[in-house]
């Protein structure tokens, strides 16, 4: 195979590998294993950053995410772009649409949708004010203006 083609394959493989690394969020110390399903927005990196912010700044919320969420789907769902969604009956998955610039919103949305997941798990009605309040607490905690 010509050297030129080998180089192209190597570059393509590297890009795929880097992309793949952001598909699995692994935090062995906190027993956190989350698969981040990619979308056209290529926002896996933002989701990883949001999880790390929760870990450092709002550890109680991070624990809830790690214990209950196994999949974060970054495709657009009922919450629209830069929003989130939780589908009942799918109690390990939350939807978080995001983009690089919306790091703060993404962090809040992860906490908000995890709140809905827990509501269903605890057989309580899906109540928006409770989860808005949690999302708001995350926003106020992680930002300084």
Partner 1 sequence: MATILHEESEKKLNKKHNKLYILLFFTISLLTLYLVFSYVYYIDISNGCLIKLNSDPTNPNSNSLRQSLQYIKNETSEYKNVCGSINKINEMQCLSEDPRVTNVKYTPSGCFVKGTKTIYVLPSYFNSINEQGNDIVKYAEYAKNYLEQK
Instruction: Give the Cβ contact number of residue 98 at 10 Å.
Output: 28
Dist. CA 60–CA 80, nearest whole Å: 27
Dist. CA 119–CA 124, nearest whole Å: 5
Q: How many residues interact with partner 1 (rule CB under 8 A)? A: 29
Could you say which of 31, 56, 92, 124 contacts partner 1 (CB under 8 A)?
Answer: 56
Check residue 143 for interaction with partner 1 (CB under 8 A): yes
- CA-nearest of 115, 79, 112 to 97 is 79
Check residue 49 for interaction with partner 1 (CB under 8 A): yes
Closer to partner 1 by CB, 17 or 123: give it. 17
3 state SS of 80: coil
Check residue 29 for interaction with partner 1 (CB under 8 A): no
Instruction: Give the Cβ contact number of residue 68 at 10 Å.
Output: 14
Could you say which of 32, 37, 42, 139 contacts partner 1 (CB under 8 A)?
Answer: 139
Binding site for partner 1 (CB under 8 A): 2-4, 7, 49, 52-53, 55-57, 100-105, 108, 129, 132-133, 135-136, 139-145
């Amino acid at each position: 195979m010509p050297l030129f083609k080998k180089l192209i394959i190597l570059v393509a493989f590297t890009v795929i590998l880097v992309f793949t690394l952001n598909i699995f969020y692994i935090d062995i110390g906190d027993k956190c294993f989350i698969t981040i399903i990619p979308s056209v927005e290529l926002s896996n990196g933002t989701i990883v950053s949001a999880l790390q912010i929760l870990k450092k700044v709002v550890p109680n919320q991070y624990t809830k995410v790690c214990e209950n969420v196994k999949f974060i789907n970054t495709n657009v769902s009922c919450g629209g772009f830069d929003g989130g969604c939780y589908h009942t009956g799918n109690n390990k998955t939350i939807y978080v649409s995001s983009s690089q610039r919306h790091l703060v919103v993404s962090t809040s949305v992860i906490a908000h949708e995890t709140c809905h997941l827990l509501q269903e798990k605890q057989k309580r009605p899906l109540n928006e004010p409770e989860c808005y309040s949690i999302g708001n607490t995350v926003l106020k905690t992680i930002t300084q203006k």
